[in-house]
């Protein structure tokens, strides 16, 4: 489902060339995708927001799709990725934007608010809530200690292991295994198996995604590979060390969190309670919470509901930036 009226161009930012898709005019809305996705994961939001009077900007993040992929995980810290976003906003002459992020895109969006709150009009985070910096190490390090050696994040840390695992399949099949994940238990493999061994592709596709969608995404990942996306995971402890100056800082701009009842993140230990009983609001005081009857990819599974929540949230805020 490629929208022909979506325009594409390349921006020089923070030392890399970034591919962006954009449509519409008006206040800027920046859409940040997750793993393993592309600008294309926002295919349902881009035209809807453009019709509603927004300038919608959806980049392929560093290491993904048609955006440059520097070698070395040290080039994928939160500061690097946020630097790319600031450079993008500067190149487009956007002073402030509504920022929407899903999965890793939500993590980047939260860090963007920590580092440069002045550039964010409001934030919407899909799936991943804001959590304050742990003094003992990153959130992924904590999750690894809970789930053990077979946890997918731990497996992704070992250079070459995930590449070999993914290399047994076509890029399209790898994407299907992650995007069509039906079990919301943690992605954790036994000792004698790799991560993709435990992820199955259903016999029929759900109604919210098509073979054409996977054809497009598969071709993009076949060209660019998965090393860039894996480097986000491999840079987590370096990001944790570098973000020490922002420890205990709150997010004090309007925020909307959209969770999914069947989302693996929402069912991670303590997340549901943290989101629903005020724990997150201690760190994000201007927070609204919505939980949809969906899985991890709620913006694709429930696009009309997500679009409605986005536009209602944006419209509820003062118009002056």
The helices-and-strands tally (H runs, E runs) of the chain is 13, 8
Q: Does the active-site annotation cover 152?
A: no
Q: Does the active-site annotation cover 184?
A: no
Active-site position among 80, 103, 213, 263: 103
Residue 120 CA to residue 101 CA, distance in Å, equals 12
Q: Does the active-site annotation cover 84?
A: no
> Is the four-CA dihedral 68, 71, 72, 73 of positive or negative sign?
positive
- C-beta of residue 276 within 8 angstroms of C-beta of residue 269: no
Active-site position among 40, 54, 151, 233: 233
- What DSSP string runs through 112-158? HHHH-GGGEEEEEEESPPP-PPPTTS-HHHHHHHHH-TTBHHHHHHS
- What DSSP string runs through 207-249? TT--HHHHHHHHHHHHHH-SHHHHHHHHTHHHHHHHTGGGTT-
Catalytic residue IDs = 103, 233, 296
């Amino acid at each position: 489902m490629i929208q022909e009226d979506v325009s594409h161009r390349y921006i020089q930012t923070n030392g890399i060339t970034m591919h962006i898709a954009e449509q519409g005019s008006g206040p800027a809305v920046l859409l940040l995708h997750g793993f393993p996705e592309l600008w294309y994961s926002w295919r349902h939001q881009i035209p809807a927001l453009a019709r509603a009077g927004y300038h919608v900007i959806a980049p392929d993040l560093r290491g993904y799709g048609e955006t440059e992929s520097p070698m070395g995980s040290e080039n994928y810290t939160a500061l690097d990725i946020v630097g790319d976003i600031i450079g993008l906003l500067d190149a487009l002459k956007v002073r402030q934007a509504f920022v929407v992020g899903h999965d890793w895109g939500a993590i980047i969006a939260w860090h963007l608010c920590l580092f440069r709150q002045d550039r964010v009009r409001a934030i919407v985070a899909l799936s991943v809530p804001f959590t304050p910096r742990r003094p003992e190490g990153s959130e992924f390090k904590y999750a690894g200690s809970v789930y053990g050696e077979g946890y997918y994040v731990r497996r992704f840390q070992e250079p070459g292991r995930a590449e070999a695992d993914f290399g047994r399949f076509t890029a399209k099949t790898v994407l299907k295994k992650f995007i069509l994940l039906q079990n919301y238990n943690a992605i954790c493999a036994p000792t004698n198996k790799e991560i993709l061994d435990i992820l199955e592709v259903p016999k029929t596709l759900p109604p919210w995604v098509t073979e054409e969608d996977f054809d497009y995404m598969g071709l993009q990942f076949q060209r660019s590979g998965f090393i860039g996306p894996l480097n986000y995971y491999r840079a987590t402890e370096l990001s944790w060390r570098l973000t020490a100056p922002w420890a205990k800082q709150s997010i004090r701009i309007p925020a909307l969190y959209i969770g999914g009842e069947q989302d693996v993140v929402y069912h991670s230990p303590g997340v549901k309670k943290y989101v629903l009983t005020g724990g997150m609001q201690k760190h994000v005081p201007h927070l609204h919470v919505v939980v949809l009857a969906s899985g991890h990819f709620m913006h694709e599974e429930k696009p009309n509901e997500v679009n409605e929540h986005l536009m209602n949230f944006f419209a509820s805020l003062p118009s002056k930036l």
